[in-house]
């Protein structure tokens, strides 16, 4: 009996050792696989009013990721987190990404979020790439913050000159969203427009996620401005244009780039969007003869069943950003200091969103063009 009991104990111990070895082996394999990948963080508004833009950004990342991983021995992955467009939530999920993945870089959406994360990424030495970040305040020299989206003052130079010399208007009313993006865009535009000899007859603001703009629009209607400069996002912009039409406001609207990029824009604005002029830094995809752009259009169309248009500016920026970062990581691995210096050396990069270089503030210069809404779609202005 005693020998049998000892035998059973021995067998149990043996099985316990086997189980422990298997578990440790599985952990080692999992850890090895995890160490063989490099994970980027991506903080996007997966929910909320910016969700459409987030989806298009994610499509750009995913298309580029498929391409760069074909020939990589060390695959790249992206860990997505939802900011909901909220800066405090963005800070929280950034810390989560740092803890779980030790990310060497993070891809972000939104001026306010990019600005809020700047001190954190610089302290942690994590490269931040803003793919939809226009506010001038994001621009800081020789640090870990970059963007491949032109800053507001660059757009303002183009748009104010276009209004003065191409559209032949010397007076405008201003209507803007009250956040980092709206303030930066309006301030830059106003400064440039006044320097060019223009006049701003009135300024009106509204809050993010507002849905009733009749108070501001009624004030504008009494002044009968021929042109209204609009700095807003797609949802607010769509509702605003519809309400302007309902109130009988006949002024023409010219909008900054952020009004692009929401599926709901045309659903909300309907026919009220006709004639809207928008400044954008993305050339026409379908008319481009550039091989890289043509290949992008074909791949995007085959995968998602639609041709990219002006509103897919975010897809193109995201696609280019991922390719640029993958090139830096190929040399640097997870060394963020090395990644940062590699990005500073990116000059005349020919991407699907245009040709650009990073300056010492991590900013890019872009060429702009005008788009106009015709028959419910964006089309090149003047064609």
Confidence check: pLDDT of 74 > 80: yes
Whether residue 271 sits in one domain with residue 241: yes
Give the model's pLDDT for residue 24: 45
* Beta-carbon contacts of residue 167 (< 8 Å; ≥ 6 apart): 227, 254, 277
Average pLDDT of span 238-253 = 96
Instruction: Read off the tokens for 77.
Output: 């992955």
Confidence check: pLDDT of 231 > 70: yes
How would you label 94-111 residue by residue, b for 16+ Cβ within 10 Å and e otherwise? beebbeebebbbbbbbbb
The enclosing domain of 75 has a CATH number of 3.40.50.2300
Confidence check: pLDDT of 237 > 90: yes
CB atoms within 10 A of CB 346: 16
Average pLDDT of span 86-109 = 97
Give the model's pLDDT for residue 268: 92
Average pLDDT of span 320-338 = 96
Confidence check: pLDDT of 253 > 50: yes
Confidence check: pLDDT of 6 > 80: no
Give the 3-state DSSP-derived string for 196-253, with helices as H, strands as E and coil as C.
Answer: CCCEEEEEEEECCCCCCCHHHHHHHHHHCCCEEEEECCHHHHHHHHHHHHHCCCCCEE
Whether residue 254 sits in one domain with residue 232: yes
Report yes or no on 212 lying in a domain.
yes
Domain finish residue from 224, 255, 280:
280
Confidence check: pLDDT of 27 > 60: no
Average pLDDT of span 185-195 = 94
Report yes or no on 138 lying in a domain.
yes
Whether residue 139 sits in one domain with residue 59: yes
Report yes or no on 125 lying in a domain.
yes
Give the model's pLDDT for residue 12: 55
Whether residue 73 sits in one domain with residue 191: no
Report yes or no on 26 lying in a domain.
no
Confidence check: pLDDT of 15 > 60: no
Report yes or no on 30 lying in a domain.
no
Angle at 32 between CA 27 and CA 37, to 5 degrees: 130
**Ramachandran sector of residue 211 (left: φ over 0; alpha: ψ -120 to 50; beta: rest):** alpha
Whether residue 233 sits in one domain with residue 169: yes
CB atoms within 10 A of CB 298: 11
Report yes or no on 376 lying in a domain.
no
Angle at 349 between CA 347 and CA 355, to 5 degrees: 110
pLDDT digits (tens, 9 = 90+) for 340-361: 999 999 999 999 998 989 999 9
Q: pLDDT class for 30, splitting at 50, 70, 90?
A: very low
Average pLDDT of span 35-61 = 91
What 3-state class would DSSP assign to 321?
A: helix
Q: CA-to-CA distance for 232 and 288, rounded, in angstroms?
A: 28
Whether residue 256 sits in one domain with residue 139: no
> What values do phi and psi take at 322, rounded to 5?
-65, -40
Confidence check: pLDDT of 22 > 90: no
Residue span of the structural domain in which 300 resides: 39-149+289-366
Whether residue 216 sits in one domain with residue 181: yes
Confidence check: pLDDT of 57 > 80: yes
Q: CA-to-CA distance for 318 and 303, rounded, in angstroms?
A: 16
Domain count, the chain: 2
Report yes or no on 1 lying in a domain.
no
Q: CA-to-CA distance for 122 and 120, rounded, in angstroms?
A: 5
Average confidence score pLDDT of the chain = 89
Q: Between 15 and 269, where is the model more confident?
A: 269
Give the model's pLDDT for residue 261: 73
pLDDT digits (tens, 9 = 90+) for 273-315: 999 999 988 877 877 888 999 999 999 999 999 999 888 999 9
Report yes or no on 165 lying in a domain.
yes
Domain finish residue from 248, 280, 312:
280
Whether residue 343 sits in one domain with residue 307: yes
Whether residue 275 sits in one domain with residue 352: no
Average pLDDT of span 319-328 = 97
Whether residue 135 sits in one domain with residue 51: yes
Whether residue 138 sits in one domain with residue 158: no
Whether residue 299 sits in one domain with residue 254: no
Q: pLDDT class for 264, splitting at 50, 70, 90?
A: confident
Domain finish residue from 256, 280, 304:
280
Give the model's pLDDT for residue 137: 93
């Amino acid at each position: 009996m005693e020998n049998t009991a000892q035998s059973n104990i021995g067998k149990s111990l043996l099985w316990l050792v086997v189980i422990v070895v298997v578990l440790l082996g599985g952990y080692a394999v999992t850890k090895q696989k995890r160490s063989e990948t490099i994970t980027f963080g991506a903080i996007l508004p997966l929910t909320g009013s910016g969700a459409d833009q987030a989806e298009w950004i994610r499509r750009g990342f995913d298309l580029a990721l498929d391409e760069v991983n074909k020939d990589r021995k060390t695959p790249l992955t992206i860990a997505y987190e939802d900011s909901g467009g909220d800066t405090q939530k963005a800070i929280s999920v950034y810390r989560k990404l740092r803890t779980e993945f030790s990310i060497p870089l993070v891809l972000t959406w939104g001026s306010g979020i990019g600005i809020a994360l700047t001190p954190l990424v610089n302290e942690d030495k994590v490269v931040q790439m803003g793919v939809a970040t226009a506010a001038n305040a994001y621009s800081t020299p020789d640090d870990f913050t970059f963007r491949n989206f032109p800053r507001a003052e660059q757009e303002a130079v183009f748009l104010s000159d276009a209004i003065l010399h191409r559209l032949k208007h010397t007076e405008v009313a201003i209507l803007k969203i009250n956040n980092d993006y709206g303030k930066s865009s309006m301030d830059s535009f106003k400064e440039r427009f006044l320097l060019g000899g223009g006049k701003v007859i009135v300024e009106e603001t509204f809050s993010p996620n507002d849905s009733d703009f009749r108070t501001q629009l009624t004030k504008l209607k009494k002044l009968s401005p021929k042109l209204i400069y609009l700095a807003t996002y797609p949802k607010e912009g769509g509702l605003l244009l519809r309400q302007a039409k309902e109130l009988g406001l006949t002024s023409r609207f010219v909008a900054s780039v952020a009004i692009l990029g929401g599926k709901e824009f045309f659903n909300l604005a309907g026919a009220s969007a006709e004639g809207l002029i928008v400044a954008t830094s993305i050339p026409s995809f379908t008319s481009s003869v550039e091989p890289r752009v043509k290949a992008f259009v074909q791949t995007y169309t085959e995968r998602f069943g639609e041709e990219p248009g002006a509103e897919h500016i975010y897809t193109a920026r995201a696609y280019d950003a991922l390719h640029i970062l993958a090139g830096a990581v190929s040399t640097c691995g997870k060394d963020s200091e090395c990644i940062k210096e590699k990005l500073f050396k990116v000059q005349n990069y020919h991407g699907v969103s245009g040709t650009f270089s990073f300056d010492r503030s991590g900013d890019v210069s872009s060429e702009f063009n005008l788009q106009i809404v015709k028959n419910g779609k964006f089309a090149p202005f003047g064609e």
